[in-house]
Copies of this chain bind each other. A is one copy, B any other.
Amino acid sequence: ARPRVGYYFNRRSANTLVSRAIAKIRVKDIKSLPVMIRESLSVYDAVVTMFTEDVGSLIVTNEDGYLAGIVSRKDLLKMAIAGGDLQKMPVGMIMTRMPNIITVTQEDTIHIAAQRLLNHQIDALPVVRTYIMPNGDERLEVIGRITKTNIARLFVELGEGGMDHT
């Protein structure tokens, strides 16, 4: 007869199983669509976009559509409280700019993504694909977004036994 595995299962192997299940889940499995703006957009319009799209971070692209920067609710609040004419200030002036942006790829695990969010104390990670230009420069195409909301949603799904990645 098949053994009833529960009886032979100790705490350590259960832990291992949980971590192994989590290790298999990748960014592409749970990523959201990116919400993007151009760097010429005003800080004021960026705030409006943040409210209409109901996101905590906006990904900023340059004129070619590649990743240029990222701006968070915290960055915008800092500018709003400092005063100044937010309608005249482009978001490119206050965003965190490349190459200082933490990103992930589709194939990275969610475990890695969660570690990056925590270690760098950021709200969102652009999910990118890298292109090497003929001159050797790198360009990052934005194909998604991972936030702590994605992690929390995954956690709830795992808690319901509904995420079929184990």
**Residue of B with least CB distance to A113:** B152
With an 8 A cutoff between CB atoms, is A52 at the interface?
no
| CA A161 to CA B111, docked complex, whole Å | 12
List B contacts of A74 (CB < 8 A). Answer: 51, 73
As for how many copies of this chain the complex holds, the number is 2
Contact among B19, B86, B115, B152 for A161, CB-based, below 8 A: B19
| CA A65 to CA B118, docked complex, whole Å | 31
What are 22 sample pairs from A and B whose C-beta atoms fall under 8 A apart? A3-B5, A9-B17, A14-B21, A15-B166, A17-B18, A18-B166, A19-B158, A19-B160, A47-B81, A54-B121, A56-B73, A76-B77, A77-B80, A80-B81, A110-B155, A111-B159, A118-B149, A118-B152, A148-B151, A152-B152, A154-B155, A155-B155
